[in-house]
Amino acid sequence: MVGSSLPEDEAMDIEKAQDLIRRIYLERDKERGMERTLLRTFQELAELSDAISKERGMEYIIDEVADVFAWVISIANLLEIDLGEALLNKYNNACSRCGKTPCKCLDTR
Ligand SMILES: [Zn+2]
């Protein structure tokens, strides 16, 4: 996988990632509040979009993907949502709409 330089068992799982971001940023996230945290997430997504469309290079793009993910985790932390559980509930081993793996939905929107 591109961007993966760690052995499989050392790669961060969702729970560890959420705990890490919580420990690093929860107090800052609370001070900032949801509205501005959402705004920062949009800004990071725009930076990722820019990095991809302007072909800034894989290293830069990987960095931006990590940023976007970290900001989404911050939103989940502010709402006290367990991301691992949420993902498992919504995508329980299959597409949340058609129930197939891989997805067999006719549209790709
Ligand atoms: Zn589907």
Q: What is the pLDDT of residues 48-93, one digit of tens each?
A: 999 999 988 999 999 999 999 999 999 999 999 999 999 999 998 8
Is residue 101 included in any domain, yes or no? no
Return the pLDDT at 102: 95
Q: Are 39 and 71 in contact (CB under 8 A)?
A: no
d(CA 99, CA 89): 12
Is residue 7 included in any domain, yes or no? no
Tell me, in angstroms, the distance from the centre of ligand 1 to residue 109's CA: 11
Is residue 62 included in any domain, yes or no? yes
Is residue 97 included in any domain, yes or no? no
Question: To the nearest whole percent, how much of the chain has pLDDT over 70?
Answer: 89
16: tokens are 């560890």
Return the pLDDT at 107: 84
pTM, two decimals, is 0.85
Residue 60 structural domain: 13-90
Dihedral sign from CA coordinates of 25, 28, 31, 35 = negative
Is residue 5 included in any domain, yes or no? no
pLDDT band at 95 (very low <50, low <70, confident <90, very high): very high
Tell me, in angstroms, the distance from the centre of ligand 1 to residue 104's CA: 5
- How many domains is the chain partitioned into structurally? 1
Is residue 17 included in any domain, yes or no? yes
Tell me, in angstroms, the distance from the centre of ligand 1 to residue 106's CA: 8
Is residue 41 included in any domain, yes or no? yes
Tell me, in angstroms, the distance from the centre of ligand 1 to residue 100's CA: 6
pLDDT band at 30 (very low <50, low <70, confident <90, very high): very high
